């Protein structure tokens, strides 16, 4: 499973959201969901492209050529879970931590701007985070054919310490988050149709 051990608890997040949200109406419209999904998918593609560029740099350092085919070949043997600071300089680690923090702030901002109620904001954060994550892995696979297996290890985050898990774990959590938001939204009428 994931390391450190507490990362495994993320599987409970969609279930906790669904449990506490039962019986409450989510004040988010289909337009909010579609617009935020478009943002999240686009942002996931940008993040995936950044990782492709990082892998291209590492492939060049490792003696691979600069083409996308060479990066894809390098990616098949690339295991980010075993990277040491000597492979990726500490200054790059610091940049990555800042990039991850900025990513979380962007997703939180979208959630805060999309609705005014607490449950809706949580729903929008889970929704955008999940779609961003799914688009990120889809971009990596489409460009460099990584991961080659759902069992491949990945570094999910570096804050506060590296979170490492097989790829199937974040994909499962993200899929569950998308599903729970859609299930929680069932029966929602447009705010203009609601009666006081």
Tokens 């409450």, residue? 24
Query: Burial of 77 by CB count in 10 Å (0-12 exposed, 13-18 middle, 19+ buried)?
Result: exposed
Structure token digits, residue 27:
């004040």
Q: What is the pLDDT of residue 93?
A: 78
What are the φ/ψ torsions at residue 165 (nearest 5 degrees)? -155, 165
The reported pLDDT for the residue numbered 120 is 92
State the DSSP code for 3.
B
Provide the pLDDT for residue 126.
97
What pTM does this model have? 0.85
pLDDT at 193: 42
Cβ(124)–Cβ(145) below 8 Å: no
Largest CA-CA distance found in the chain, in angstroms, rounded: 67
Q: CA-to-CA distance for 196 and 194, rounded, in angstroms?
A: 7
pLDDT digits (tens, 9 = 90+) for 82-111: 555 445 667 777 888 899 999 999 999 999
Q: What's the confidence (pLDDT) of residue 181?
A: 93
DSSP 194: -
pLDDT reported for residue 78: 67
Report, as ranges of residue numbers, the positions in the chain whose pLDDT lies below 70. 61-62, 65-66, 75-89, 186-196
**DSSP 8-state secondary structure symbol assigned to residue 38:** H
How far is residue 108's CA from residue 170's CA, in Å, rounded to a whole number? 18
């Amino acid at each position: 499973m994931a390391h450190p051990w507490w990362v495994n608890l993320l599987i409970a997040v969609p279930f906790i959201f669904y449990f506490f949200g039962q019986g409450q109406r989510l004040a988010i419209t289909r337009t909010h969901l579609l617009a935020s999904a478009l943002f999240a998918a686009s942002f996931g593609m940008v993040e995936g492209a950044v990782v492709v560029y990082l892998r291209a740099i590492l492939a060049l350092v490792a003696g691979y050529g600069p083409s996308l085919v060479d990066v894809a070949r390098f990616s098949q043997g690339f295991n980010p879970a075993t990277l040491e600071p000597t492979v990726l300089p500490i200054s790059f680690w610091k940049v990555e931590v800042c990039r991850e923090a900025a990513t979380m702030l962007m997703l939180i901002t979208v959630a805060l701007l999309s609705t005014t109620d607490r449950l809706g904001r949580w729903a929008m954060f889970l929704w955008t985070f999940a779609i961003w994550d799914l688009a990120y892995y889809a971009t990596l696979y489409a460009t460099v054919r990584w991961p080659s297996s759902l069992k491949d290890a990945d570094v999910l985050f570096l804050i506060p310490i590296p979170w490492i898990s097989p790829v199937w774990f974040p994909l499962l959590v993200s899929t569950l988050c998308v599903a729970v938001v859609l299930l929680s939204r069932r029966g929602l009428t447009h705010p203009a149709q609601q009666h006081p």
